[in-house]
């Protein structure tokens, strides 16, 4: 059994992961360690503090007892605000601390798009506009073009964690664009792992969510990603002709 350790900031949708683990009946282990949070705010200065090396190192030390095969910094905004190089440095620090491969949610979004051969996307962001634009720049730096973006101005992760499934579906539908090959939903504070198929059905194209790509990338760091049911196109084994 593969164990993907998750460093998750604060409390909002961390229960998405044990719920998925239970649903998969032991196929994957997803131990979660909650990392410390200064201020719960989707604001650049707060996010730079959220993702600083000391917080990740403390979480990594706590995660060591779970003996993970790979580790994910399960936070989109707390990785993309550092830019591509900064995000890679975050992952490298965690990997060195634990001696296993590591990545982050932001890096996982770019890698997932590459795996599916997706070049143009729409973004359904819970964040305020200025924070969401950091994600757009991060994707652009990874060769992914953002053709449209909806930002919803939600300041705290705690509030995002309370969004009902129908609200998430509405956000994804509102963000869609005819030129978008997929919709990206970049916030691990949002509960999405039980509604991926519903989201894809609503727009008729792949939907990549933060918690989904986090699990996928953690598995991909270890070896071939297995087919997992009800987790959308990304876990179906389907590609559009482009590999890593």
How is the chain split into domains, by residue range? Answer: 2-107+211-235, 108-209
pLDDT band for 239, please (50, 70, 90 cuts).
low
Q: Which token pair is 124?
A: 């359904």
pTM of the prediction?
0.92
pLDDT (tens digit per residue) in 57-86: 999 999 999 999 999 999 998 999 999 999
Q: Which token pair is 108?
A: 């996982």
CATH architecture of 108-209: 3-Layer(aba) Sandwich (3.40)
- The pLDDT mean for the chain works out to 91
**Exposure b/e, 135-149, CB count within 10 A at least 16 = b:** bbebbeebebebebb
Model confidence at 148: pLDDT above 50: yes
pLDDT band for 241, please (50, 70, 90 cuts).
very low
Model confidence at 151: pLDDT above 80: no
Identical fold, 2-107+211-235 and 108-209:
yes
Q: Topology of 2-107+211-235 in CATH?
A: Rossmann fold (3.40.50)
């Amino acid at each position: 059994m593969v164990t993907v350790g998750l460093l998750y900031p604060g409390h909002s949708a961390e229960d998405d992961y044990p719920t998925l683990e239970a649903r998969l009946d032991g196929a994957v282990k997803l131990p979660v360690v909650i990392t410390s949070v200064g201020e719960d705010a989707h604001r650049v200065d707060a996010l730079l503090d959220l993702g600083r090396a000391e917080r990740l190192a403390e979480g990594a030390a706590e995660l060591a007892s779970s003996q993970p095969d790979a580790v994910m910094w399960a936070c989109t905004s707390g990785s993309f605000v550092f830019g591509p190089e900064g995000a890679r440095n975050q992952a490298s620090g965690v990997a060195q601390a634990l001696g296993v491969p590591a990545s982050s949610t932001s890096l996982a979004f770019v890698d997932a798009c590459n795996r599916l051969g997706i070049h143009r996307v729409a973004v359904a962001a819970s964040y305020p506009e200025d924070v969401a634009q950091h994600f757009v720049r991060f994707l652009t730096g990874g060769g992914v073009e953002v053709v449209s973006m909806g930002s919803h101005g939600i300041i705290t992760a705690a509030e995002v964690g309370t969004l009902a499934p129908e609200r998430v579906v509405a956000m994804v539908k509102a963000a869609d664009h005819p030129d978008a090959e997929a919709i990206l939903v970049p916030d691990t504070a949002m509960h999405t792992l039980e509604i991926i198929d519903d989201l894809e059905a609503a727009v008729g194209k792949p939907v990549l969510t933060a918690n989904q790509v986090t699990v996928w990338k953690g598995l991909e760091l270890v070896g071939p990603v297995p087919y997992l049911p009800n987790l959308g196109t990304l876990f179906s084994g389907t590609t559009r002709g482009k590999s890593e």
